[in-house]
Amino acid sequence: LSTTIDDLLDLAKAARAGIRLELGLMRLDELVHDAVARYEAAFQLAGVQVIAKRPAEPVRALVDPGRITQVLNNLLGNALKFTAQGQRVEVEVYRPADVTGMVAFSVWNDGAAIDAADHERIFQQFEQAQTQSGRRVRGTGLGLPISRAIIEAHQGRLWVESAPGAGSTFSVALT
């Protein structure tokens, strides 16, 4: 209940005055590594393999570490919910080769694809993706809208790409 109330307050703040950020030059690769480490036991318990891909060189970005961790927690939590036993999740931090000054991270799972018609809908408040069987997965439908608001407050972008047989990738790009 406390988490749901916090999520609703975050959305109200974002709508009213924007999300307040406490920016610092951080190692994005370390933030991602730490988030994956916190979820590792939950992935093991669910029988889902999680792989963290780190670049050879540190990836630094001007970010609010608490807010980026909040986004990572949401994306990893969703990946855990929507990935079946025996499947895998990959988290990657990288610098897009074609865009100078940009850093990115992504969370991919080889679970069921998200219908193209739902790619934007799932970023709306109280909306959720459905599993292939049509059942709803537990949650409030607030995590992705909050995550998108946080990334947009960083002047970045959060989106999903998905296709049958290819799983789903949630990507974040930051300048």
Question: pLDDT tens-digit profile of 69-96?
Answer: 999 999 999 999 989 999 999 999 999 8
DSSP single-letter state for residue 110:
-
Rounded CA gap, 52 and 89, in Å?
9
Q: In this predicted structure, what is the pLDDT of residue 85? A: 94
The predicted structure's pLDDT at residue 60? 94
pLDDT for the residue 164: 86
pLDDT at 141: 73
pLDDT of residue 35: 96
pLDDT score of 134: 46
Regions of the chain short of the pLDDT cut 70: 1-17, 126-140
Res 88: pLDDT: 95
Count, residues in the chain: 175
For strands 88-94 and 49-53, give the pairing.
Answer: parallel
Task: Show the DSSP H helices in the chain as ranges.
Answer: 2-16, 28-46, 65-82, 143-153
What's the pLDDT at 119? 83
Tokens representing 9?
A: 């307050």
Long-range contacts of the stretch 136-139 (C-beta < 8 A, 24+): 137/81, 137/82, 138/81, 139/78, 139/81
